[in-house]
Amino acid sequence: MDNHSVKGRRLWSRRQAVNLTLLGATGGSLSRGAQESAGRKWKVLVAGAHPDDPETGCGGTICRYTAAGHDVAVLYLTRGEAGVRGASHKDAARIRTEEAKQACAALKARALFAGQIDGATEITARRYGEMLEIVRAEDPDVIFTHWPVDTHRDHRICSNLIFDAWLSGSRRAALYYYEVARGFQTQTFSPTDWVNIDAVIEQKWKACFLHKSQGITRERYDQDHGRMELFRGLEARCRYAEAFVRQMPGPGGMLP
């Protein structure tokens, strides 16, 4: 990490303690985008491959946005059809769709579904077009998705579909990548930005634990995402944090 990034991190963590001040990613004052958007309701789109990916990866950041009055849509590429042991795809989709809706309600966000199938996601011209239509309809100011270097194929596909839609949208929105199950799924992830989630950590946990079909217990959570929150908190000089990689070139100053 260069000196400029370290300086940005110190300023970031200091200002985060003040709470809902909107900072540029690498400076101690409001970015141009944040200044222009001050007092305006932002639209935020958070994309994940399966129910529970957005919640575990950046649920705290979602809470920070919704607490500030911004509109957040959580887009699930699939309904988790292959994610409930012993259940048919139909039954698993029903179970996990309901869990996703409950989790979004806890985060005060909206749930959207892209219609692909868990374990059989695709990158085709048609799928690129479908994702572009969703993104255009939402017209977000900020987009989050998986970091593309990941051991899970669905995660990689979700990331690439979103990236293509972002490119096709003239790169107008700020684009950030989040991590999940660091070391086991997300690989070679070096953050550029951090969000202090101390004030909303209980709300995030509540949303994550609503995914009961995934066995997300307190003990299991503490072994992976709980450790990530604490480690990123050390980096950001707070108790709990979430970390992101900002897509460059592109707008900045759009984190809560």
Q: What are the residues whose beta carbons fall under 8 Å from the beta carbon of 212, sequence distance 6 or more?
A: 99
Give the pLDDT band (50/70/90) at residue 92: very high
Cβ distance 193 to 176 under 8 Å? yes
Q: What is the pLDDT of residue 223?
A: 86
- The residues pairing with 71 across neighbouring beta strands, listed in sequence order, are 43
3-class DSSP state for residue 253? coil
CA distance 156 to 175: 16
pLDDT in tens, 131-178: 999 999 999 999 999 999 999 999 999 999 999 999 998 799 999 999
pLDDT at 100 over 80: yes
Domains and CATH numbers, the chain: 41-246 (3.40.50.10320)
pLDDT at 127 over 90: yes
Percent of the chain scored above 70 by pLDDT?
85
Give the pLDDT band (50/70/90) at residue 36: very low
Cβ distance 11 to 27 under 8 Å? yes
Average pLDDT, the chain: 87
Q: What are the residues whose beta carbons fall under 8 Å from the beta carbon of 205, sequence distance 6 or more?
A: 221
DSSP 44-106: EEEEESSTTHHHHHHHHHHHHHHHTT-EEEEEEEE--TT-STT--HHHHHHHHHHHHHHHHHH
Q: What is the pLDDT of residue 21?
A: 32
pLDDT at 102 over 50: yes
Q: What is the pLDDT of residue 15?
A: 36
Q: Show the tokens assigned to 12.
A: 């970031």
Q: What are the residues whose beta carbons fall under 8 Å from the beta carbon of 193, sequence distance 6 or more?
A: 12, 25, 176, 243, 244, 245, 246, 255
What is the average pLDDT across 22-50? 61
